[in-house]
């Protein structure tokens, strides 16, 4: 398609409205905005941003993909995952012994909750009653820890150490118990039964628990940053022990490795495998995946919201030249950060999505980066345990949730809720490892794999180009088209031209979008546009360069 240029001086608004009006006549177009992009008035190109109409979008796409091959790959990874999940952990631990150790650490964490509350002068005498807000005021607790304190009170209610008198008020029938010495003794007895090679990392985890507990009061008052304890003096030892070298992390990372081996086995040899890891952090999961990936046909994009981990990761993975390192905040638009839509075959998110403030929005961003038929591999807490509540629970990411999770005041989702959430966001195949009822259930985590729609359609920009050729002079026909789920708006309800400019600067390898049938798997993509329709109508008088089909 030959590029067109035009000056935006003079009657640009009128010309652009004419182009938008012409595009809106196409039955497959629901919404459209046209802008002129370029550094100078004399060298600008027209770009059309199009939201397809859900009912008539088939005219803009052509079917791609091999359904048989796609299904074979999926079935292979499911079989591989189940088989690996049923095997004992590679660390050689006895599951019953490790389960007993985990239970004793949970009891120790509960004892630390009681210890901290007593140290702050509450629930020392029988029949003390406080609401959460009263505790925050009386103990000078920072407001950001209100959710955490509510979680603590709820678990003490479960243990019948507190009684709930109203929605937020709790009373203690008896003084909270003092049981740290007994709990530590039980933990140490179980530690003696663990394999020698796992003990140093388990001791690191216990040391972190103790250091956190020693600083509970200071953290609650805002005097100590919880991340300073997790990354003591900038070191990654505690993080590595938590996410890579302990038996639980080893178990789930080994399942991920076997699943990736299965994907590689069924991947077309001539097709590059493009992988994105979000929130890669210390690279604990990355270290398990890279060795099974083909050297000459893999592109692995290692990302994190912070640059803190980049240099250590580059050193750690220096023997893997196919790894590239970038920043990515998955809670913000990836397009505006320079990432192409639907450009990754697999996205990995290990122990990261629960920190999203709005999980629905974050999943939409992730889905937008996945190619059709792409795979999302998650490792997530599915049971929120007391050990986390007394350690990493202090980190801001565990308390910033402002979505449906607020109802239960728990930052993590159960396997069932993950299944429903992923399905409602356009993933048609979902599987979790291990299965419910497995001997490893006590670990409180799951590895979840989800796949986008099994059919694939390729965008045909020439369909719109040819449509306009019969209606507009050549110089008014856009030189590029961008598919969007919705047209971005600023705080005032106007078209966000800055966001559109950022999108235009990302040149997609191939403008593609999923099967736009009325199946529920694709509903969320376009439901976002529908949900904002009323808002756009109300601000229509203020919008520029904007038309919405009624």
Give tens-digit pLDDT for 391-445: 999 998 899 999 999 999 999 999 999 999 999 998 989 999 999 889 999 999 9
Average the pLDDT over each of 9-18, 219-228, 465-474, 525-534 and give the range with the smallest value. Answer: 525-534
What is the structure's pLDDT at 200? Answer: 86
Q: Shortest CA distance to 436 belongs to which of 422, 453, 452, 448?
A: 448
Give the residue with greater pLDDT, 162 vs 237. Answer: 162
Average confidence score pLDDT of the chain: 86
Strand partners, 32: 50, 547
What is the structure's pLDDT at 71? Answer: 87
Q: How confident is the model at residue 317 (pLDDT cuts 50, 70, 90)?
A: very high
What is the structure's pLDDT at 11? Answer: 42
**Percentage of the chain lying above the pLDDT 90 cut:** 64
Give the residue with greater pLDDT, 504 vs 250. Answer: 250
What is the structure's pLDDT at 506? Answer: 67
Residue 128 to residue 545: CA distance in whole angstroms:
63
Residue 7 to residue 454: CA distance in whole angstroms:
44
Q: Is the pLDDT of residue 523 over 50?
A: no
| C-alpha triplet 251, 279, 83: angle, nearest 5° | 25
User: Model confidence over 260-300: pLDDT tens digits?
Assistant: 999 999 998 888 999 999 999 999 999 999 999 999 999 99
Q: How confident is the model at residue 245 (pLDDT cuts 50, 70, 90)?
A: low
Is-contact 378 356, C-beta < 8 A?
no
Q: Region 438-453: what's the mean pLDDT?
A: 92
Distance of CA 540 to the CA centre of its chain: 34
Is-contact 370 278, C-beta < 8 A?
no
Q: Shortest CA distance to 441 belongs to which of 365, 383, 509?
A: 383
**Percentage of the chain lying above the pLDDT 70 cut:** 85
User: CB under 8 Å to 274, separation ≥6 — which residues?
Assistant: 298, 299, 301, 343, 344, 345, 346, 371
Which domains occur in the chain, in start order? 12-63+458-548 (3.30.300.30), 67-90+243-454 (3.40.50.150), 95-241 (no CATH)
What is the structure's pLDDT at 502? Answer: 82
Within 10 angstroms of residue 110's Cβ, the number of other Cβ atoms is: 23
Is-contact 183 163, C-beta < 8 A?
no
Q: How confident is the model at residue 10 (pLDDT cuts 50, 70, 90)?
A: very low
Residue 3 to residue 5: CA distance in whole angstroms:
7
What is the structure's pLDDT at 242? Answer: 62
What is the structure's pLDDT at 244? Answer: 57
Residue with tokens 């595009």: 23
Is-contact 390 216, C-beta < 8 A?
yes
Q: Is the pLDDT of residue 325 over 60?
A: yes
176 in helix, strand or coil?
A: coil
Q: Region 367-389: what's the mean pLDDT?
A: 95
What is the structure's pLDDT at 547? Answer: 42
User: Model confidence over 463-486: pLDDT tens digits?
Assistant: 999 999 989 999 899 989 998 888
Give the residue with greater pLDDT, 50 vs 8. Answer: 50
Q: Is the pTM of this model over 0.95?
A: no
User: Model confidence over 345-354: pLDDT tens digits?
Assistant: 999 999 999 9
Is-contact 195 93, C-beta < 8 A?
yes
Q: Is the pLDDT of residue 385 over 70?
A: yes
Q: Shortest CA distance to 136 belongs to which of 128, 127, 145?
A: 145
Residue 362 to residue 328: CA distance in whole angstroms:
12
Q: Region 294-308: what's the mean pLDDT?
A: 95
Any idea what DSSP says for residue 57?
Answer: G
Residue 516 to residue 514: CA distance in whole angstroms:
6
Q: Region 169-195: what's the mean pLDDT?
A: 95
Q: Is the pLDDT of residue 41 over 70?
A: no
Q: Is the pLDDT of residue 549 over 70?
A: no
**CB under 8 A, 24+ apart: contacts of 185-190:** 186/104, 186/107, 186/108, 187/101, 187/104, 187/105, 187/108, 189/104, 190/97, 190/100, 190/101, 190/104
Give the residue with greater pLDDT, 523 vs 37. Answer: 37
Residue 439 to residue 41: CA distance in whole angstroms:
67
Q: Region 487-505: what's the mean pLDDT?
A: 85
What is the structure's pLDDT at 112? Answer: 98
Q: Is the pLDDT of residue 232 over 80?
A: no
Average the pLDDT over each of 58-67, 141-150, 236-245 and give the range with the smallest value. Answer: 236-245
Is-contact 423 473, C-beta < 8 A?
no
Give the residue with greater pLDDT, 115 vs 16. Answer: 115
Per residue, what are the HEC states of 396-420? HHHCCCCCHHHHCCCCCCCHHHHHH
Residue 272 to residue 260: CA distance in whole angstroms:
14
Distance of CA 2 to the CA centre of its chain: 39
What is the structure's pLDDT at 372? Answer: 86
Q: Is the pLDDT of residue 508 over 50?
A: yes
Strand partners, 547: 32
User: Model confidence over 65-102: pLDDT tens digits?
Assistant: 677 888 899 999 999 999 999 988 877 788 999 999 99
What is the structure's pLDDT at 243? Answer: 61
């Amino acid at each position: 398609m030959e590029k067109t240029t035009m000056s935006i001086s003079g009657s640009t608004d009128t010309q652009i409205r004419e182009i938008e009006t012409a595009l809106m006549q196409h039955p497959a177009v629901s919404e459209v905005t046209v802008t002129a992009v370029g550094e100078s008035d004399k060298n600008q190109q027209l770009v059309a941003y199009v939201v397809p109409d859900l009912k008539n979008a088939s005219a803009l796409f052509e079917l791609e993909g091999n359904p048989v091959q796609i299904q074979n790959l999926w079935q292979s990874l499911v079989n591989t995952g189940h088989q690996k999940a049923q095997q004992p952990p590679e660390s050689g631990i006895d599951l019953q012994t490790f389960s007993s150790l985990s239970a004793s650490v949970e009891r120790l964490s509960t004892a630390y909750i009681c210890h901290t509350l007593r140290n702050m002068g509450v629930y020392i005498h029988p029949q003390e009653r406080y609401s959460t807000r009263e505790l925050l005021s009386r103990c000078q607790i920072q407001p950001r820890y209100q959710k955490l304190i509510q979680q603590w009170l709820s678990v003490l209610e479960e243990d019948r150490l507190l009684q709930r008198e109203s929605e937020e008020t709790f009373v203690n029938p008896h003084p909270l118990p003092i049981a740290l010495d007994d709990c530590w003794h039980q933990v140490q007895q179980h530690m003696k039964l663990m394999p020698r090679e796992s003990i140093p990392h388990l001791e690191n985890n216990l040391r972190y628990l103790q250091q956190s507990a020693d600083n509970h009061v200071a953290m609650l008052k805002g005097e100590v940053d919880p991340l300073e304890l997790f990354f003591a003096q900038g070191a990654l030892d505690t993080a590595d022990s938590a996410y890579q070298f302990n038996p639980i992390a080893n178990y789930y990372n080994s399942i991920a490795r076997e699943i990736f081996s299965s994907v590689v086995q069924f991947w077309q040899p001539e097709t590059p495998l493009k992988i994105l890891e979000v929130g890669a952090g210390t690279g604990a999961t990355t270290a398990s995946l890279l060795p099974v990936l083909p050297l000459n046909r893999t592109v692995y994009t290692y990302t994190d919201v912070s640059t803190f981990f980049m240099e250590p990761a580059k050193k750690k993975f220096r023997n893997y030249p196919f790894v590239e390192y970038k920043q990515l905040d998955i809670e913000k638009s990836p397009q505006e950060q320079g990432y192409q839509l639907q450009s990754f075959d697999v996205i990995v998110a290990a122990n990261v999505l629960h920190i999203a403030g709005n999980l629905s929005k974050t999943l939409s961003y992730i889905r937008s980066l996945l190619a059709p038929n792409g795979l999302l591999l998650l490792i997530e807490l599915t049971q929120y345990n007391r050990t986390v509540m007394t350690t990493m629970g202090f980190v801001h990411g565990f308390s910033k949730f402002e979505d449906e999770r607020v109802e239960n005041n728990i930052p993590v989702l159960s396997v069932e809720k993950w299944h429903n959430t992923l399905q409602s966001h356009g993933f048609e195949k979902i599987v979790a490892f291990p299965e419910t009822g497995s001997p490893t259930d006590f670990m409180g985590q799951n590895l979840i794999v989800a796949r986008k729609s099994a059919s694939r359609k390729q965008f045909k920009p020439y369909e719109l180009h040819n449509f306009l050729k019969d209606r507009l002079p050549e110089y008014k026909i856009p030189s590029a088209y961008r598919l969007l789920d919705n047209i971005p708006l600023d705080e005032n309800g106007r078209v966000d031209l800055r966001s559109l400019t950022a999108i235009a600067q990302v040149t997609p390898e191939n403008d593609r979008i999923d099967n736009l049938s009325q199946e529920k798997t694709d509903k969320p993509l376009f439901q976002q546009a529908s949900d904002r329709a009323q808002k756009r109508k109300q601000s229509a008088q203020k919008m520029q360069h904007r038309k919405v089909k009624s």
